[in-house]
Chain A
Amino acid sequence: MSDTKAVPVMAEPETDDRARQRTPLQRLMGARATWIFLLDIALIALFTALSREGVFLSWLNTKALLLSGAEALLLAVGLAMLLGAGKFDLSLGANLVMSSVMAALAMVAMVGAGAGVGVTILAGLVVCLGTGAMIGALNGMLVAVFGINSLIATLGMLGVITGFALVATGNGQDVTGFPHQLQSGFGLRTIGGIPAPALLALTVALAMWVVIRFTAFGRHTLAIGSAPLAAERVGLRVTRHVMSLFVLAGMLAGLAGFIDIAHYQTTVINGHNNAALQAVAAAVIGGTALEGGRISIMGTIWGVALAVILQNGLVIIGVSSAYQLMAVGAVLIVAVGLDRMSSRRP
């Protein structure tokens, strides 16, 4: 046996250089999240300068920005968790709609039956989360148990759920008539000046950041995305873990559905057709890897912010918001493209 003190036998000069630890500053500047954050700041400055009397940065408009980003953030964070494990969920937007429809129908029925406001709204929340979780579980089963590619499985589910939501509402009639306290008490409520739904979404994002960064669940998620076979080989329960990720993302979509009906006081059946793809764009722009193994929750927040800022800012300066679609698309391609070119992988 060789001597017990560590000698740098394994370290070859050229590999040493590659694997050297980076300083916190290097890591910060190397992170996509940082650059997207700076881009957000630049866009805020630009729109503030271009809008009349800087109305873009007014408190009223800031609140509108936060409120419109809440649902998108919940979807994007859920998707980022799935992407971390190398899985997709294209049905998140349909899940949102389905959850809100089920909750709205349940609440209308309860109001009709003379139930109290508080218990009705609580039931609405439970139905939203439950529907979201059930759809997530179904997706998870198709992917983790039956081994169907997640893109295909959730594409199929997207169609099934959307159709189901249309059938359940008599061909897409939006459901209204549930307690208005849902909107006044939550949807349009502000806490310390910040819209309650935005606070909720940011809290969830923060929680997910902690999970990814500091818990075994987070490590296992990244390990499964990074090398599914290695994860299996070290004895991780991959099937169970992937299932729970789909349920988690589904529940977050359900929560987004609850925010949706609380915000608009009606279901918005036709307003979320591109929600899942927008969530993919936001997560990937922020530095979450499509191939799995890397999640940036911070980047996801800034990615969602980018879409919201562009949408709102272009409208305020009187430009068609169609340009927002182009801008987000272009940023997505440029961000990922730059990453490819600068990647030092062998």
Chain B
Amino acid sequence: MTTRTRGVASQDPPLAIGAEHVAKSFGHVTALRDASIAVRPGEIVALCGDNGAGKSTFLRVLQGIYRPDAGRVIIGGQEVDLTSVRDAQALGVDTVHQDLALAPDLSTVDNIFLGHEIRRRGVLGGFGILDRAEMAERADAALKELSIALPSLTVPVRELSGGQRQAVAIARAVMWSSKAVLMDEPTAALAARQSRIVCDLMRSVADRGLGVLVVSHDLPAVLEVAHRVVVLWRGKTVLDAPAADLTVPDLVATMVGHVKEAA
């Protein structure tokens, strides 16, 4: 507990994604009071907190779904004003959701390219005809790069296992992100072995130079995979420390707000 630092540390390398002193209220409910986080390229940062601590709200601010009442959002070292998910995506930030991230009736290839379809060259492309061969090739390359093997890229993703689907969702986010990938409880719906594979994937993603911000309740996994851990407590960042310095009991104590008494 000795290395605990408050707020955002110095910003020598430009942040992949970050936020400083963000506040957000909904009517009389104050979801965020003073939330800060900083994720550098190649770094995995875990965002933890008890239920109602404001994790989801904070993530949505970073995704561009909510505009903060106060504070700054930073992408690629620049302060940005996000008005929609599309804004964040255009700036190179994409999200992997716990579930409902893919269209189950579409194939892996179609899901990876959803909203980013490649058209044929020439007249056919002018009519909006897709270049399936090119999309299949690039999807295959992207999956291979992350060491994801699937039995088929053309069957509907509903026929894949939960872990396979999550892998596809991660590959999709990585493909369209140039700065950072946000992950919302990426392992919550998965069995132990599949969730380990997803953790490996996070490392692969960070190794590609992207910032990874992961919201998770799986504290042992968080401490193993993350470089740093940020804890929100009642809408405020109360801990930002290297994961190596933390233990699960420390983390739990901070999350439920016992730290002040203990300190």
Contacts and interface: CB of A to CB of B under 8 A. Distances in A.
Contacts of B149: 6-11
B122 to A, nearest CB: 14
Contacts of B101: 230, 233
Interface stretch (B47-55, B109-117, B247-255): B109-117
Nearest to A18: B159
Contacts of A233: 85, 95, 97, 100-101
B106 A215 contact: no
Nearest to A219: B110
A226 interface: yes
A183 to B, nearest CB: 33
Interface string B215-242: 0000000000000000000000000000
Contacts, number: 129
Contact of A3 (B119, B147, B155): B147
Nearest to A224: B103
Contact of B197 (A10, A20, A223): A10
B225 to A, nearest CB: 12
Interface in B134-170: 143-145, 147-152, 154-155, 158-161, 163-164, 167
B159 A223 contact: no
A32 interface: no
Given A7-B149, A215-B128, A235-B85, A225 B105 contact: yes
A9 B197 CA distance: 8
Interface of chain A, main secondary structure? loop
A235 B88 CA distance: 10
A330 interface: no
A20 B115 CA distance: 26
A234 B105 contact: no
A226 B165 CA distance: 15
Given A19-B160, A235-B89, A219 B207 contact: no
Interface residues of A, number: 44
A345 B160 CA distance: 11
Given A2-B204, A10-B197, A217-B128, A15 B164 contact: yes
Interface string B102-132: 1111100011001101010000000111101
B154 to A, nearest CB: 6
Given A10-B167, A230-B100, A236-B114, A20 B147 contact: no
Given A5-B147, A231-B114, A10 B105 contact: no
B106 A4 contact: no
A235 B167 CA distance: 19
A220 interface: yes
User: Which of A2, A232, A345 counts the most B-chain CB atoms under 10 A from its CB?
Assistant: A2
Contacts of A2: 147, 200, 204
A87 to B, nearest CB: 15
A2 B199 CA distance: 12
Lowest 6 CB-CB distances: which A-B pairs, in order?
Answer: A293-B105, A226-B103, A15-B161, A226-B105, A223-B103, A216-B117
